[in-house]
Amino acid sequence: SSSPQPMQSDGTRDDLIRPKKLFNPVLESSSRRGLHRELLVSLKTVCRGLLPEEKPELKRVLEQRRLEQHREREQASHPPSDLEQELHKRRQRLLQEELRRREDLQNMPEFVRVRENLRHITVTGY
């Protein structure tokens, strides 16, 4: 004879199927936990004012000026190497070429510029 299942202390019966607990993606995923931890750390540093964006403007300007002065003293203390000199020459030459190219574009009549632009457009669908 089948007797009714005994009731448990929480009011449920043993023969009932219990639902599985749904997983929380924030708690289960290690990448999400890492992201959450990183966000908390960044929030704490912002609240304490440790990030450079949170510094007062005067302090930031003074720090930049101090760094520039230090860099200038370093450059003055030792002459530039051959490589640095060549790189400087190349940079100057490229800047001159860029300025010359812009000047040529400005002096060029508009219809020639439009024609050059049209030449680079490929027509598709025919």
Give the 3-state secondary structure of residue 7: strand
Length of the chain counted residue by residue = 126
Per the domain annotation, does 17 fall within a domain?
A: no
Please check whether residue 14 is in contact with residue 8, taking contact to mean a CB–CB distance below 8 angstroms.
yes
Answer yes or no: do 52 and 88 share one domain. Answer: no
Identity of residue 18: R
Per the domain annotation, does 10 fall within a domain?
A: no
Answer yes or no: do 91 and 74 share one domain. Answer: no
If you count DSSP H runs as helices and E runs as strands, how many of each does the chain have, helices first? 5, 0
What's the CA gap between 59 and 52, in Å, rounded?
A: 10
Per the domain annotation, does 30 fall within a domain?
A: yes
What's the CA gap between 36 and 106, in Å, rounded?
A: 53
Give rounded-to-5 percent helix, strand, coil for the chain: 65, 0, 30
Residue 12 has pLDDT above 70, yes or no: no
pTM for the full predicted model: 0.34
What's the CA gap between 29 and 102, in Å, rounded?
A: 53
Q: What does the pLDDT look like over 89-113, one tens digit per residue?
A: 999 999 999 999 999 888 888 888 7
Average pLDDT estimate for 30-45: 83
Answer yes or no: do 37 and 68 share one domain. Answer: yes
